[in-house]
């Protein structure tokens, strides 16, 4: 009788552990797929903010409650290869007029004066300026304005809000740069 009690106790313990492990795995995969995702930075288009080899966490949940904002760094699939993601900064919102003149960007006839890039624009891309950003689309640029394929190029174009994989919010690698990304 005692052995049967021990067997039942061990079986119950194993079942409890299996349930706990299953719940933890479901929670982890749910968080990874629906709330957070790790992304690797490839290339120098976001330098100096992010550089080749950096790792960031994307918040996939943010845009369920608010619209993307000017200055947000977002990830989205590259249309030429949807398994590849681009990471760029939003500089213009739906309805904004973007122009490129005198080697500088203008948003609604106001020079883009951001803290992310100070170099004169040498690459115009192949988009005809000025352009008005359509509803639900965003104009994105790399912080390394002269070394980025971004909304200036037809191959990237404006990014639809629903195509955004998430907002970059924490850099996790290299460790000496761990923290919020602005």
Residue 121, classed as helix, strand or coil, is coil
Identified catalytic residue from 9, 13, 83, 88: 88
Task: Please give the Cα distance from 40 to 19 (Å, whole number).
Answer: 33
pLDDT of residue 56: 92
* Annotated domain spans of the chain: 1-34, 35-174
pLDDT of 127 > 60? The answer is: yes
Taking the whole predicted model, whether its pTM rises above 0.85 is answered as no
Residue 111 in contact with residue 8, Cβ under 8 Å?
no
Residue 69 in contact with residue 119, Cβ under 8 Å?
no
Position 142 confidence tier, pLDDT thresholds 50, 70, 90: very high
| 45 catalytic residue (yes or no) | yes
Identified catalytic residue from 45, 117, 148, 151: 45
pLDDT above 90 as % of the chain: 41
Residue 148 in contact with residue 88, Cβ under 8 Å?
yes
pLDDT digits (tens, 9 = 90+) for 16-64: 777 767 666 655 565 555 556 788 888 889 998 999 989 898 988 788 8
pLDDT of 118 > 80? The answer is: no
Topology adopted by domain 35-174: Umud Fragment, subunit A (2.10.109)
């Amino acid at each position: 009788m005692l052995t049967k009690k021990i067997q039942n106790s061990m079986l119950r313990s194993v079942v409890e552990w299996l349930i706990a492990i299953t719940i933890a795995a479901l929670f982890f995969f749910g968080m990874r797929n629906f709330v957070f995702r790790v992304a690797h930075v490839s290339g120098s288009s976001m330098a100096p903010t992010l550089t080749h080899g950096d790792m960031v966490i994307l918040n996939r949940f943010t845009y369920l409650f608010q619209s993307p904002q000017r200055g947000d760094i977002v990830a989205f699939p590259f249309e030429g290869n949807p398994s590849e993601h681009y990471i760029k900064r939003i500089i213009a919102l739906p309805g904004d007029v973007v122009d490129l003149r005198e080697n500088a960007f203008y948003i609604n006839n106001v020079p883009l004066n951001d803290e992310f890039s100070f170099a004169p624009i040498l690459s115009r891309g192949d988009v005809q300026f000025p352009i008005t950003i359509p509803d639900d689309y965003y104009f994105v640029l790399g912080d390394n304005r002269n070394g980025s394929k971004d909304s200036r190029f037809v191959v990237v174009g404006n990014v639809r809000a629903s195509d955004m994989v998430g907002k970059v919010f924490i850099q996790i690698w290299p460790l000496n740069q761990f923290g919020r990304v602005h």
